[in-house]
Every structure is written in C-alpha cells, then in structure tokens.
Structure 1
Amino acid sequence: MNAAKHRSSNTPSEADSAVEALHRIDRKVDAMRERRLNDPDTLGDKLLTWALPSIAGLVAGKLLDGVWQRGVRRSNLRRGLDADAPQGLLMSIAFAAVSAALGAAVSQLADRGSRNMVGRMQRRRRRHRRG
C-alpha cells in the first residue's frame, strides 16, 4: 500500500493533468480576450477594410470589361465582321493580363486608402474620447 501511495505522489494524476489542461485553455482564452479588447478596429472598420478593396476591384473590372467590349465591337465592325464576333487567342490573353493588372492595382490602392481612412477615424475617435 505504501508503494502505491508513493507512486501517486510522484506522478501527476489524471485529475491534475486535466486541471492543468484547463488552466492552459483559460490562459489562451484570456490572451485572446485581451487582444480583442485592445484591438482598435471596430466591426465597421473591419468591414470597410475588407469590403472597399473588393468592391473597388469589382467595379474596375466591370468598367474595363465594358470598355474592352466596346473597343472589340468597333474593331470587328471596322474589319467587316459581326460586332459580337469572337476574339482571337491573343486578344483573350491580352484582356486577361490587363484585367489582372488593373484589378491588382485598384485593389491595392483601395486597400491602402481604406486603411488610411480607418486610421483617421480611429484617431478621431481617440481624440473624441479624451476631449
């Protein structure tokens, strides 16, 4: 009986292990809560920084598509083809390249702009809270 008692005092019991695991989880939850409370971004700020670049990229892509299609129609009519005649492979590749480049540039600029806008709003909120 003494040996069994001696073994259990040297090794952590299953209950001690479970309690320690719960303490680790509790510390992680506390750290996550602290990060959330110290995060200056509101839900609106996060939506703005997510949505603005996406919408700007979509609008720029649609505008480019409209301009491209108008140009293709004119080119087809000048060559004596139907206005909606299919494009060649090189034109399709050119459109894909121009569209990707424009989409990336517009999204990047909109991302920077939305971050700057959120930064200004956060500074204004901080000043408003102090004053």
Structure 2
Amino acid sequence: MSEKPDMESSADRAVAALHAVDEKVNALRDQRLNDPDSFGDKIFKTATPALAGLVFGKAFEMLWKRSVGRKSVRADGTTNEAAEVALSIAFAVASAAFGTLVSQLSDRGSKAIVNKRHARQAHRK
C-alpha cells in the first residue's frame, strides 16, 4: 500500500516559499532604491581607506628601514640573522597596528564627508 503524497499541502508550501523569496527580493530592491549613497559615494568610502593605508604604509616602511631596519646590519656589512628575524617580526606587528589605525581613521573620515554631503543635500530640499 503506497500512500499518495498530499499534493495540496506540497503545492501550498512551494507557493508560500516562493512568496517568501519574492518578499525578500522586493525588500532588497526597496533598500537599494532608497539608499542615499550614490555609486560615487560608495567608491569614495571604499577607496579612501585603501589609498590612505597604501600611502601611510609605504611611508611607515620607509621610516622603519631608515631607522630601525638598519640595526640588523653589522659594521662589516653582514647581517645579524637573529636581529633581522626579531626586527622583521616587530615590523610586522607595528605595521599591522599602524595600518589598522590608519584604515579606521580614514574610514571614519570618508563616511563623515559623505554624511555631511547628504546633510547639505537634504537641507537644500
């Protein structure tokens, strides 16, 4: 004896699942259309922290090599490998901390600039 599957409840569940997907798509569309940030705003908020991190990271690397990075080189021109490893680890830690700080600050700054622009536009309307 094989039981027939209840087609009505399966169909109802499938229709309900499709309605749920449709509602989610509509909500995402409304969110996208009502987003106050333009494409340029989004690019600016993404590119500013990346460029600031690149510029300040290279500046930090140059300063490190000119000051601390030379400490692993002996007077005869050879390198102290133990000191070089320790300084490489210290550079990695300091660079990551500095990069995080620069990225967070530039991210806040770029968002503040875009928010001020939105406030000025809303005030004009």
Please classify the TM superposition score into its range, dividing by the shorter chain length: 0.7 to 0.9
Deviations 1:84-103 (A, max 9, x none): 94762221122112211111
- Count how many residue pairs are aligned between Structure 1 and Structure 2: 119
67 and 24 in structure 1: CA distance in 2 versus 1, 3 angstrom threshold: same
Structure 1 gaps, min length 5 = none
Taking only the aligned residue pairs, the percentage that are identical comes to 45
Scaled by the length of structure 1, the TM-score of the pair is 0.74
Name the structure 1 match of 2:75.
80
Name the structure 2 match of 1:32.
28
AA in 2 matched with 1:80 = A
Kindly indicate whether the alpha-carbon contact (under 8 Å) linking 2:72 and 2:84 is maintained by their aligned counterparts in 1: no
23 and 76 in structure 1: CA distance in 2 versus 1, 3 angstrom threshold: closer
1:19 and 2:20 are equivalent in the alignment = no
Name the structure 2 match of 1:104.
100
Partner Cα distance (1:81, 1:55) in 2: 39
Structure with bigger gyration radius:
1
Scaled by the length of structure 2, the TM-score of the pair is 0.77
Q: Secondary structure at the match of 2:37?
A: coil
Which of 89, 107, 111 is the aligned partner of 1:115? 111
Partner Cα distance (2:96, 2:53) in 1: 10
Deviations 1:14-50 (A, max 9, x none): 4433332222221111111111122211111111111
| Displacement of 1:116 | 0.3
AA in 1 matched with 2:21 = I
61 and 114 in structure 1: CA distance in 2 versus 1, 3 angstrom threshold: same
